[in-house]
Structure 1
Amino acid sequence: MTTSPQTLSTDIAIVGAGPTALFAAFQCGMLKLKSILIDALDSVGGQCTALYPEKPIYDIPAHPAIEGGALIAALEAQIAPFDVPRLLGSRVEKLTGHRGDFQLTTARGDIIHAKAVIIAAGAGAFGPNRPPLQGLEEYEQTGAIQYYVKKRSDFAGKRIVIAGGGDSALDWALSLSDIAEHIYLLHRRDRFRGAPETLSRIESQIQKGRIEKVVPYQLHALHGSGGALSHVEVSTLSGETRNLEADTLLPFYGLSTDLGPIALWGINTHRSTVPVTPATLETNIPGVFAIGDIATYPGKLKLILQGFSEAAMAVHASHAIIHPDTALHFEYSTSKGVPG
């Protein structure tokens, strides 16, 4: 990671270094375009690395399941032949210029000159939605309450309360059910938001006694001492309470997101996303594109595989900016291989 300010020139500046950004860098290499990855985090991988490196991902083509960290490692290996520069640990604060001649300035003072810009910043800056419970901070400091699972092995033999009704809660309940002593799956109503296959697997683990469904309850209070959790008190809307013996609480109530400086660049935004032209992924600023979770358009699916497709489309659309006098003759990678 570079720590001193630099001034660099490139064809395409990629803001972000998550999976869609890494694949955009690969597509740049395939079209013989120079690129650079810029990210506020200290390592590449975005949420896959920062939030769930050991969480299985099930919707990557050709992979029945692949952990977030393994996916990032594979994407890094894919761009290795192109020696893509990275500016990590400092977010982009300013974007000025116009199509074919942009300047990006990072918080550290790096200056990047680029002919096109691809924003692949996920949902922007992110942090967990924290439950409003008394004494929360004390348990957070000891790790009794966590919002992300980075190492499954940390939860071996633990009694775990998983709170939430969405994909993260369901996926981690399944992933940890084979190593935890006991898992309580807590939700305020008896209906979970998940794929039919996921819900079927949850039901199977409930029948085997590896997961206990606690509905319709919500978090009410924490009990323990010295930062060590002993019980999680839950309650119904009618006031009935129950104490769950637990060592760890994992609240999965989603992420609070903030576009940060991106919202000040003159780019149209809508509810923390950036509207784009579906055919090119271009924003309202010519030469600036958005891909992945930050991009929105009719029919958008927030899937990594769709982000990969958007990366290819945005890079191909950028080619005309970098080489306006050269027609792009698309060739399949099976025919052309990886450019030397």
Structure 2
Amino acid sequence: MIETDVAIIGAGPVGLFAVFECGMLKMRCVVIDALDAIGGQCSALYPEKPIYDIPAHPAIDGGELIQALERQAAPFAPHLLLGQRVESLADVGDGWLEIGTSAGARVRARAVVIAAGAGAFGPNRPPLAGIEPFELTGGVRYFVARKEEFRGKSVVIAGGGDSAVDWALSLKDVAAKVYFVHRRPKFRAAPESVARLEAAAAAGEVEMVIPYQLHGLSGEAGLLRQVEVATLKGETRSLPADHLLAFFGLSMELGPIADWGLGLDKSHVTVTPATLETNLPGVFAIGDIATYPGKLKLILQGFSEAAMAAHAIHPRVFPGEALHFEYSTSKGVAVA
């Protein structure tokens, strides 16, 4: 049994910042994550992908952001339980909640913060015949761990969201050739990023293959050679390719969290906006998994939610103790 003040489910950027915010209020944290390393999607899916909407950072790679958040949380010495999924949640009375993990650990805390992104995730795979051998060899990928692996290669990027657009911009100076495949000339990405992509296309740095969608793959011994694309009218093109990067979003599932009796809106947890508390007393949700009117799925909003949740949790950990809010610039880091 591990006893702590706050149990945080999820070691992504928002979960790590929650450690800092709780630590500044002298609350100890245990952090549990199903992945073997901290960082969530930032580490697992796009450690070298630039993120443009973190305050004071015009651009910062996902991996660098996680490293900075880890350093920020380090003074508060969070207890990390990695490589294990939270399986159960129970109210054991007297203001305590207890969670159990797939590895048999039990954590008893005054509050639980769900910062699990959108739950367990995996890529949405394109329905292409014979795709499996190319997945095994890395010819077909759903995320980028190291940009250098694509240096001098011919890369086909498929998708119309932020990941597809951002990686096209990031790889255009690394790959020998970048094709951008999308079924229509309208994107679901940030307008500024789309403008930069269009400028790159006009400069010949990226070839736009629109309106096409993936149709087939060819190669030998698992080595990708061609990506076939087609229009809705049946017109086809074959693009020479060493790699296909397919960015069609992630399939999300809440897993055991869905059975805890939380108020759910599809695959998201509903919370009270002022406190981020769920319908279960002492259980809070922050980041992408939380939903309420006006919610924006931005890391920076998750950071704000972490601070709000920490202040709402303080009375549960220190009942009857007044919390006199001070700015970190005046109080410094209140090391636990």
TM-score bracket, shorter-length normalisation:
over 0.9
From 267, 271, 278, the counterpart of 2:273: 278
Amino acid at match of 2:308: M
Tell me, in whole angstroms, the C-alpha distance in 1 between the residues paired with 2:188 and 2:96. Answer: 45
Higher mean displacement: 27-36 or 193-202: 193-202
Q: Deviations over 1:152-181 (max 9, x none)?
A: 000001111100011000000000000111
* TM-score in terms of structure 1 length: 0.97
Q: Secondary structure at the match of 2:265?
A: coil
2:241 pairs, out of 239, 243, 246, with: 246
- The equivalent residue for 2:129 is 134
Task: Decide whether the 8 Å contact of 1:18 with 1:120 is kept in 2.
Answer: yes
The structure 2 residue matched to 1:225, chosen from 217, 220, 223, is 220
Task: List 4+ stretches of structure 1 deviating above 6 A.
Answer: none
Question: Are 1:115 and 2:130 an aligned pair?
Answer: no
What secondary structure, in the 3-state scheme, does the structure 2 residue paired with 1:26 have?
A: helix
2:190 corresponding residue in structure 1? 195
Question: What is the deviation of 1:81?
Answer: 1.0
Count of aligned pairs between the two proteins: 334
Take 2:291 and 2:10, find their aligned partners in 1: how far apart are those partners?
17
Residue 174 of structure 2 corresponds to residue 154 of structure 1: no
Q: What stretches of structure 1 of length at least 5 have no aligned partner?
A: 1-6
**Distance of 1:184 and 1:303 partners within structure 2:** 28
Query: What residue number does 1:23 align with?
Result: 17
Mean Cα deviation higher: 124-133 or 185-194: 185-194
Cα offset, 1:191, TM superposition: 1.2
Instruction: Check if 1:11 corresponds to 2:11.
Output: no
Query: Of the candidates 279, 286, 305, which is equivalent to residue 300 of structure 2?
Result: 305
TM-score, length basis structure 2: 0.98
Q: Once superposed, what is the RMSD of the aligned Cα atoms?
A: 0.8
CA distance in 1, matches of 2:46, 2:166: 11
Residues 110, 232 of structure 1: alpha-carbon distance in 2 compared, 3 angstrom cutoff: same
Structure 2 unaligned blocks of 5 or more:
none
Indicate conservation of the 8 Å contact 1:99/1:116, yes or no. Answer: no
Worse-superposed segment, 166-175 or 77-86? 77-86
Checking the alignment, whether the CA contact within 8 Å between 1:99 and 1:321 is kept in structure 2 is no
Counterpart of 1:206 (choices 197, 201, 205) is 201
1:225-262: CA deviations, max 9, x gaps? 11111111111111111111111100100000000000
Identity %: 64
